[in-house]
Structure 1
Amino acid sequence: MRLAEFLLEKHHLSDIPLRDINYQFIRDFEMHLLIARGNKQSTIAQNLILLN
């Protein structure tokens, strides 16, 4: 999953407590999907839905 890759690449973590997922974390993940992975908005939305 892209979230696991993001955590490892950007935060050097394999897991993160739910309490640490905030708006800035989600925005950083979104930008990672857009810029580093070249995903389109529909793919980004599908990944963000999993955080819901």
Structure 2
Amino acid sequence: FRSALNSGARPLNTLAMQPSVVVFMVEWYVNHVRLGRMAAVDAFRPVVATP
């Protein structure tokens, strides 16, 4: 169990050592969530527009 925690904490430490990767992942996630929301709104807009 402790070895699993160590193996799980190792990638976190490597990510912490590379802030640029974290920033890239955060920006990628935010952009995809924003695009997903816009696509959902565009898909839902015709339903709202039609009576």
Q: TM-score, normalised by structure 1?
A: 0.33
Give the structure with the higher percent helix.
2
Higher relative contact order (CA 8 A, sep 6+): 1
Q: TM-score, normalised by structure 2?
A: 0.33
